[in-house]
Every structure is written in C-alpha cells, then in structure tokens.
C-alpha cells in the first residue's frame, strides 16, 4: 500500500509546463525592459481568499536575471557539495538545489525593507538578499570573512542590512521569531512584511500554530511560507501529516498553494501575499517544490525515494530549465548564449571558492565575543584573553 501511495504521489510531482515551447533562437541577448505577459505553469489553489491571476508581468531583463541568479545558486550548492566531501566544510550542511525558484521569485516581488527569516537551508536565500559568494563560502568553511564571521557555519547565515535574519538550526524555531519581526514592523509602522520560511517537516510544530494564532489576533504583516519539498528529512509528507494541504493549515488564516518550481508563479504569489498581509494580516503560502540532494550532506537522498523520481522532476519541472525555455521561446537569447552564461557563472563560483580558502580562521578569542550586547555583561566570562590564548594549542 505504501508503494502504491508513493507511486501516485510521485506522479503528482511531475507536472509539466502547460504549453509547448517553440525552438526559434535569436542571435543576440536582449536586455529589453518592455513588459511581457507569461502565464504560470499551473493555477493557484486558494483557501479563504481569491487566487491571483495566472498572467504574470515580466521582461527580458528579468527573465535573464532569473536564469543567471538561479544558475549561480545551483553552481554554488554543487561547489558546497564538493567542499563538504573534501572536509573543508564541517558539521551540518543542507543544500537548496532544485528549490531556487522560491528564493528568486520571492525577491522579485519584495524589497529589502521586507524581512526574511528561514531554516537551516539558507545559502541561496542569503544570495537572493544580495549576499556575496565570497562571504557565503567563507562562512561555510568557518573563515573570518564569512557573513557571520565564520562562527555560524552553514545553518546560520545572516545579513541584517538586507533584513535577512537567518538561518536557524532548530526545526520551526524561526516561526515565532518571524511573527515577532512582523510585530516590530507593524509597531514601527514600516509598511513592510516578514516572510517566514519553513519546511513541510516543520509544519507540524506546535510553535508554528501558536505564533500564527497571535499573528492572526493582532493582524500582523506576516507571510508564512511552507517550502514543501515533500520529505521531512527522510519521511514523506503523507507519512507525517494527516492533512498535507499545508496552505489550509491556518484554518482561519487564508492560504495559497503555489508551483514552487515556477519562478514567475512564486513572484506573483509573493506580490499577492505582501499586499494581503499589509491590509489584512497573516497569510500562508505553500510552495510545491523539490530538493535534488538529500536532507543534508549525510543523507544520500535515495533510500526513501527512487532515482527515477528525482530524474523525472529534473526533466519536467526543473526551475532553471523552465526559465531557459521561456527565454528561448521569446527570442531573448540563444541556447549557446545561455550556456556561455553558465560557464561564466562557474568561473565566478570557482574564483569565490579559491578566495574564501585564503581567508583566515577566526582567532580562538572570538569564542567569547558576540555573546552580550556591547557594553553589557562580560565578553570573556572573567577569563583573561591572553591567558586563554596561551593555553590553547
């Protein structure tokens, strides 16, 4: 019975693009900002709200930026895989390849005054917020020039100047923090919202519902985004959730189910959600997405799902290939030009890795910093730093 349910669910993962795309190519890359109207691959499914239009406004310039940025994220995660296997990245490491459309589409609909907080699968969200490859790889390798000064590692990226509040290692812990950020925005009358990202594995956490209840009571500008990649670690959603319709989990809170492998659908949904949250309070977005790697680098990702399922999603729903087909079908760039762009991305990633390897490891004394707010408490817990350094190997 379990296998039959898995087979049925796997079929649902392989939703193709709605229309066939022509193969006409163009000689030169277009950077035209003229508006194009593209229909989303699948319709939105709504709960207690009207679904947004499937017709999304975009441009040649935006589609090319989507392709470049998602290709950059994909290559970064592949490089992180290699660095982990070479033991240059230690501890936990959760990769985002396959889910890039969520990070890219969300950024296209909001601005840097809107806050984002997420789980430990945070590398690409950091890049989407404007973070650099050098800072990302430095942090992954525990180096001084990392975005968290080498003390956060893979799970704790951070960029406060772009309203990115992490990277959190405890499952679901970011949900009440995200609602707290939304409370601060409303209290300060900022006209901004907070996007709180969590996975389907965290969707059953009690703290999520407690935070959602308060957010609804106080009409907080909170957008809760369930990145449903269909497996909580190695457990399929249908084995862990009696009701896997996560966009309806808010009960009294409106929700929307979105094709999370379609960057334009994500953009449209996030734009809709931001407008709703500012006027009416919280809303839930369920992003139907998929990760190609296992849960973390210690998980091969092939013991609880078939290789055919993974390759099937790659062939039919891959977010980068979808944008590639749109670019070619609208005569924006040729296949060769896009491949050349990917080659440049690879060089950029390789250069950032090499530079990050040269970054120094933090001093041992850094273990005792960033514990208290400056001017409060004791930075070194009473220990003399020079004496401490002398005792360390």
Question: What per-residue confidence (pLDDT) applies to 33?
Answer: 85
pLDDT in tens, 192-213: 999 999 999 999 999 999 999 9
* End-to-end Cα spacing for the chain: 57
Question: What per-residue confidence (pLDDT) applies to 9?
Answer: 47
What's the whole-number mean pLDDT along residues 99-127? 98
| Whole-number Å distance between alpha carbons of 288 and 190 | 30
Distances (CA, A) of 80 to 154, 174, 309, 386: 10, 24, 24, 35
Question: What per-residue confidence (pLDDT) applies to 4?
Answer: 42
Burial (0-12, 13-18, 19+ Cβ within 10 Å), 11: exposed
Question: What per-residue confidence (pLDDT) applies to 310?
Answer: 97
| Whole-number Å distance between alpha carbons of 97 and 318 | 10
Q: Give residue 388's Cα distance to chain centre.
A: 39
Residue 12 pLDDT grade (very low, low, confident, very high; cuts 50, 70, 90): low
Question: What per-residue confidence (pLDDT) applies to 392?
Answer: 52
pLDDT in tens, 251-270: 999 999 999 999 999 999 99
Percent of the chain with pLDDT over 90: 84
What's the whole-number mean pLDDT along residues 261-281? 98
- Quote the strand ranges of 156-293, DSSP E: 194-199, 222-228, 231-232, 235-236, 255-259, 283-288
Please give the residue that has the higher pLDDT: either 294 or 382: 294
Judge whether residue 34 has pLDDT over 50: yes
What's the whole-number mean pLDDT along residues 226-253? 96
Question: What per-residue confidence (pLDDT) applies to 32?
Answer: 83
Judge whether residue 381 has pLDDT over 60: no
Judge whether residue 10 has pLDDT over 50: no
Question: What per-residue confidence (pLDDT) applies to 8?
Answer: 46
pLDDT in tens, 145-171: 999 999 999 999 999 999 999 999 999
Strand partners, 57: 37
Judge whether residue 3 has pLDDT over 50: no
| Whole-number Å distance between alpha carbons of 360 and 368 | 18
Give me the domains of the chain, ranges plus CATH numbers. Answer: 38-363 (3.40.50.970)
Question: What per-residue confidence (pLDDT) applies to 57?
Answer: 98
Question: What per-residue confidence (pLDDT) applies to 360?
Answer: 98
Judge whether residue 85 has pLDDT over 60: yes
Residue 223 CB partners (closer than 8 Å, separation 6+): 193, 194, 195, 196, 270, 273, 274, 277, 282, 283, 284, 285
Judge whether residue 70 has pLDDT over 80: yes
Question: What per-residue confidence (pLDDT) applies to 118?
Answer: 98
Percent of the chain with pLDDT over 70: 88
pTM assigned to the model: 0.90
What's the whole-number mean pLDDT along residues 275-291? 98
């Amino acid at each position: 019975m379990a296998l039959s349910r898995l087979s049925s669910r796997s079929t649902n993962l392989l939703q193709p693009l709605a229309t066939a795309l022509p193969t006409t190519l163009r000689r030169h890359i277009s950077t035209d900002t003229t508006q194009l109207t593209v229909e989303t691959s699948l319709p939105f499914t709504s709960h207690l709200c009207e679904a947004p239009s499937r017709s999304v406004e975009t441009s040649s310039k935006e589609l090319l930026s989507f392709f470049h940025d998602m290709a950059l994220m994909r290559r970064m995660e592949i490089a992180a895989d290699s660095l982990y296997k070479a033991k240059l990245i230690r501890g936990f490491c959760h990769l985002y390849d396959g889910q890039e459309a969520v990070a890219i589409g969300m950024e296209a609909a909001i601005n840097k005054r809107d806050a984002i907080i997420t789980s430990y699968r945070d590398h690409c969200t950091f890049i989407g917020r404007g973070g650099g490859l050098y800072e990302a790889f430095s942090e992954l390798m525990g180096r001084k020039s990392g975005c968290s000064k080498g003390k956060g590692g893979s799970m704790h990226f951070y960029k406060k100047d772009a309203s990115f509040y992490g990277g959190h290692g405890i499952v679901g812990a970011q949900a009440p923090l995200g609602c707290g950020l939304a409370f601060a925005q409303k209290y300060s009358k900022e006209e901004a919202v907070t996007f709180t990202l969590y996975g389907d594995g965290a969707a059953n956490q009690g703290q999520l519902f407690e935070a959602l209840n308060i957010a609804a009571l106080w009409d907080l500008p909170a957008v809760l985004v369930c990145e449903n990649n269909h497996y909580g670690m190695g457990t399929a959603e249908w084995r862990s959730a009696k009701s896997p319709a996560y966009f309806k989990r808010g009960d009294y809170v409106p929700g929307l189910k979105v094709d999370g492998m379609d960057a334009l659908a994500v953009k449209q949904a996030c734009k809709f959600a931001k407008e709703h949250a500012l006027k009416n309070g919280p809303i839930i977005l369920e992003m139907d997405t998929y990760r190609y790697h296992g849960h973390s680098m210690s998980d091969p990702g092939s013991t609880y799902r078939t290789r055919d399922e993974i390759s099937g999603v790659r062939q039919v729903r891959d977010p980068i290939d979808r944008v590639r087909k749109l670019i070619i079908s609208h005569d924006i760039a040729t296949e060769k030009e896009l491949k050349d762009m990917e080659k440049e991305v690879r060089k950029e990633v390789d250069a950032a890795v090499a530079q990050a390897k040269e970054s120094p490891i933090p001093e041992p004394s850094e273990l005792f910093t960033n514990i208290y707010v400056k001017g409060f408490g004791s930075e070194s817990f009473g220990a003399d730093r020079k004496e401490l350094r002398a005792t360390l190997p």
